[in-house]
Structure 1
Amino acid sequence: MDCSRLEYIKNVNDDGDVWAYEGYPIGAYFRLNFKESKDTGVDTHAFNLPKGSLIILSQKRPEYERYLTHVVQLVNEGSEDKPQRETGTWGIFRWVKVHWIADFDNISRIPLDKKEMRADWGFHNTKAKLLSSPSLMSQWGSIDALRAHLGEVFN
């Protein structure tokens, strides 16, 4: 997988003891949800993410640590996805295509977020965070170094 377009990491979770988006294999399309929150501008944020960007999905099941479970690509402009928005907590979404997915049958082979990313920047909302954020760059020095490392993780 070409990691030169990795731009973001996003927190995702499912209810209960299941993995979010587990049933979508490489090449599949699905609606990546963002939790509605008027105070944090999630709506504007989600629809301004650029088409073609790759996003790492990080998630935690209740009894486990946080894992890197998917790499997905935004396939539409936000303006194309926005008219399909639904009302409700999870009505904000962007269409994505799966480029990489973890082996959910073997949890020991799923990359640990904290180990691979070397940062703990908090996951208090569902916004996609830039990989070039100061907290990550303080650990990696450059986005190219981080992308090179992630290329080894996801290949």
Structure 2
Amino acid sequence: MEYIKNVNDDNDWAYKQYPVGAYFPLSFKKGEGVENHALNLPKGALIILSQKPPTKSGRYLTHVVELSNEGDEDKPQWNSDDMWGIFRWVKVHWVANFHDPSNIPVDRNTMQVDWGWQDTKAKLLSSPNLMSQWTSIENLRAHLEGVFN
């Protein structure tokens, strides 16, 4: 696991319809530097998705996905007219049980620090915010593997 990313849906849990093994386009909201950021995320990188659903307070860790293409393979499909038109194809490796929301990992309890979820970019798990709590990426990954197994 290399990244964590903020995702949202105004009406429901984002991407809940995709089971383990499914592929879907993971959206990035247009903004300064977002296109370049999305293009340069490496194929094969694992991203944890964190979201605040409309009917709950707090944020939840709902998916672990793998980038399945290089950015230049995905870009020709982008829709430049849509604010969510930037995306990368991902494959689901782990997904929360949306039928039992009480067992979905709570972001703040699991990550144990505010990792800076305020925009659409994927953040490195080795960021200074997370490392202030976890000291090393190995400690954080070991903790997360226990959560997602």
Say which of 9, 15, 19 aligns to 2:10.
Answer: 15
Q: State TM-score, norm by structure 1.
A: 0.93
Say which of 58, 79, 83 aligns to 2:76.
Answer: 83
Say which of 11, 27, 34 aligns to 1:33.
Answer: 27
Partner of 2:47 in structure 1? Answer: 55
Shift of 1:111: 0.2
- Mapped to 1, the partners of 2:116 and 2:5 lie a distance apart of 11
Partner of 1:3 in structure 2? Answer: none
Give the AA of the match of 2:110.
Answer: E
**Sequence identity percentage:** 67
1:66 and 2:59 equivalent? yes
Shift of 1:154: 0.2
Shift of 1:57: 0.1
- Mapped to 1, the partners of 2:23 and 2:83 lie a distance apart of 21
CA RMSD, Structure 1 to Structure 2 (Å) = 0.8
Shift of 1:124: 1.9
Mind listing any 5+ residue stretches in structure 2 that lack a counterpart? none
Say which of 101, 108, 122 aligns to 2:116.
Answer: 122
Aligned residue pairs: how many? 147
Give the AA of the match of 1:81.
Answer: D
Q: State TM-score, norm by structure 2.
A: 0.96
Give the AA of the match of 1:82.
Answer: K
Shift of 1:82: 0.7
Query: What is the CA deviation profile of residues 53-104 of structure 1, one whole-angstrom value per residue up to 9, with x for unaligned ones?
Result: 0000000013321000000000000010011111210000000000000000
- Mapped to 1, the partners of 2:127 and 2:117 lie a distance apart of 14
- Mapped to 2, the partners of 1:121 and 1:55 lie a distance apart of 14
